[in-house]
């Protein structure tokens, strides 16, 4: 009961604290401050400094809800309402424990979205092209392609039957995830001729050369693809290809999928992260999304994929117990 009261009062206070200042900052006219003019920070070799901890967490959906039509931006009132609702949902999910659930202070473990630097976004969708803010139609090949294997969809005969996420290998990407709900933090490090991007989610690290070298041979494939970067003015452009067949973004074709990322630092606390997905054998046209990367204090926390690393063992042991009991095994789909 006490926990429920704390959750109700706490989420209201947090919504008021967060929506107010964050909303005003997001909606304020973009006027340069004469007292604190912002200058693009640069590394010793003159490149824009993208280093630090950033979060991609957003309450904005990938696809635009149909009710908005072709409207790209929300009104001030809509932004405030959507952000407040997102904060409340996140807080309720974290703290609305039932009476028989162990209660602890989840804020100690940074389990709530508001602790991860989520900020208001005026866009009605992350997708900005096509203009309707929605994914293009699938090609006939894209429609016919089997969906990626999920948790036990191909049976529980062994760990190889389980999806890559269940096996703690990868959940796909790039692009940087924007709506996973947790572990959305990213650490960027730069050096001469390379950029390193470390994900909190799945503890992935990408080492991206920017020294002009070409992509690796097509048969060399990686969970996060083979990314090669270059600087286009003050924007870091990274072209990714060479994905493992089991880990292509949104079940794309590993032979034709390209993901082009663009990182542009637009102020002291924000990187505009723009990515284009180009896979002519999956979608009828390329599509592009934009999401802000907001500066946070860090550090990156451990991504303990399975508590005690027992998840897969428990699944397989449960399946063997079903076998012994003569229970029907999950059908392959």
Span 203-235, pLDDT tens digits: 889 999 999 999 999 999 999 999 999 999 999
Mean pLDDT for 67-85 is 94
Residue 67 phi, psi (nearest 5): -65, -20
DSSP string spanning 53-97? EEE---SS-SSPPGGGTT--B--HHHHHHHHHHHHHHHHHHHH--
d(CA 176, CA 185): 10
Distances (CA, A) of 282 to 95, 225, 295: 40, 17, 34
Residues pairing with 195 in the sheet: 190, 208
Place of tokens 């592009």: 288
Residue 75 has pLDDT above 70, yes or no: yes
Q: What are the tokens at 207?
A: 């080492």
Give residue-wise pLDDT tens across range 261-285.
999 999 999 999 999 999 999 999 9
The predicted model gives 40-61 an average pLDDT of 95
């Amino acid at each position: 009961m006490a926990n429920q009261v704390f959750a109700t009062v706490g989420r209201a206070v947090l919504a008021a604290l967060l929506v107010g200042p964050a909303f005003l900052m997001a909606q304020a006219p973009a006027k340069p401050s004469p007292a604190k003019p912002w200058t693009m920070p640069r590394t010793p070799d003159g490149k824009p400094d993208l280093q630090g901890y950033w979060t991609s967490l957003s309450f904005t959906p990938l696809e635009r809800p149909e009710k908005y039509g072709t409207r790209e931006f929300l009104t001030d009132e809509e932004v405030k309402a959507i952000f407040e609702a997102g904060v409340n949902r996140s807080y309720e999910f974290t703290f609305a424990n039932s009476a028989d659930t162990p209660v602890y202070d989840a804020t100690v473990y940074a389990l709530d979205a508001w602790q991860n630097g989520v900020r208001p976004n005026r866009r009605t969708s992350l997708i900005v092209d096509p203009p309707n803010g929605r994914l293009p139609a699938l090609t006939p090949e894209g429609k016919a392609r089997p969906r990626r294997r999920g948790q036990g969809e191909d049976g529980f005969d062994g760990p190889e039957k389980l999806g890559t996420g269940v096996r703690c290998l990868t959940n796909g990407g790039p692009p940087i995830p924007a709506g996973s709900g947790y572990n959305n933090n990213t650490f960027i490090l730069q050096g001469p001729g390379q950029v390193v991007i470390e994900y909190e989610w799945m503890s992935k690290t990408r080492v991206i050369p920017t020294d002009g070298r070409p992509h690796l041979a097509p048969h060399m494939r990686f969970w996060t693809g083979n990314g090669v970067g270059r600087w286009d003015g003050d924007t870091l452009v990274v072209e990714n290809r060479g994905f493992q067949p089991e880990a292509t973004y949104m079940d794309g074709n590993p032979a034709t999928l390209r993901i082009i990322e663009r990182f542009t630092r637009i102020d002291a606390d924000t990187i505009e992260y723009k990515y284009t997905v180009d896979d002519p054998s999956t979608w009828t046209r390329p599509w592009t999304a934009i999401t802000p990367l907001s500066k946070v204090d860090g550090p990156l926390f451990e991504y303990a994929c399975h508590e005690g690393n027992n998840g897969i063992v428990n699944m397989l042991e449960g399946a063997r117990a079903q076998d012994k009991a003569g229970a029907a095994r999950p059908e392959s789909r």
